[in-house]
Amino acid sequence: MEPVSLFDLAAQQARWLSVRQSAVAGNIANANTPDYQAVDVEPFERVLDNGKLAVAPTHPGHIPIGTAPGAVNVREDADAVVNESGNSVSLEQEMVKAGEVRRTFEMNTAIVKAFHRMMMMTTRT
């Protein structure tokens, strides 16, 4: 087992967010394409559950909390409604997803900055 650091976890989430942002952008770009099926990525929690690396407790009293990140899979969007043209893209849903991606990127960045500040404060002499 290898330990999982906050920076590694944040980097994995940033990669996942990048893939999700690409999927959402592709859906929006194909909003008028006949028979196009909207796609989305599997939730980040599921990516963490399917990971290959396990969180390693550093002390015998620590409780194991799951696994580290794995691969990201793109899947058809189960919530999509199909139009007469066979297209399942809803611009409203895609804009909501784009907003979620942006907010999650901002939160990820804020957490990494805060953790970095804490590390810098502990290493100052």
Which residue type sits at 12?
Q
Label residue 123 by pLDDT band (50, 70, 90): confident
**Who has greater pLDDT, 70 or 7?**
7
Q: Residue 54: what pLDDT? A: 46
Q: Residue 79: what pLDDT? A: 64
Would you say residue 88 lies in a domain? yes
Q: Residue 74: what pLDDT? A: 60
Q: Residue 17: what pLDDT? A: 94
Q: Residue 47: what pLDDT? A: 79
Write the CA distances from 59 to 56, 67, 78, integer angstroms.
9, 17, 42
Q: Residue 95: what pLDDT? A: 95
Would you say residue 23 lies in a domain? yes
Neighbour-count burial of 23, counting CB atoms closer than 10 A to its CB (0-12 exposed, 13-18 middle, 19+ buried): buried
pLDDT in tens, 58-75: 666 655 544 333 445 566
Domain limits for position 61: 6-123
Phi/psi of residue 62, nearest 5 degrees: -75, 145
Q: How large a percentage of the chain has pLDDT more than 90? A: 34
Statement: the pTM of the whole predicted model exceeds 0.85 = no
Determine the length of the chain.
125
Write the CA distances from 88 to 23, 48, 76, 84, 95, integer angstroms.
14, 28, 10, 9, 14
Q: Number of structural domains, the chain? A: 1
pLDDT in tens, 26-62: 999 999 899 888 898 888 888 777 764 444 556 666 5
Would you say residue 109 lies in a domain? yes
Would you say residue 1 lies in a domain? no
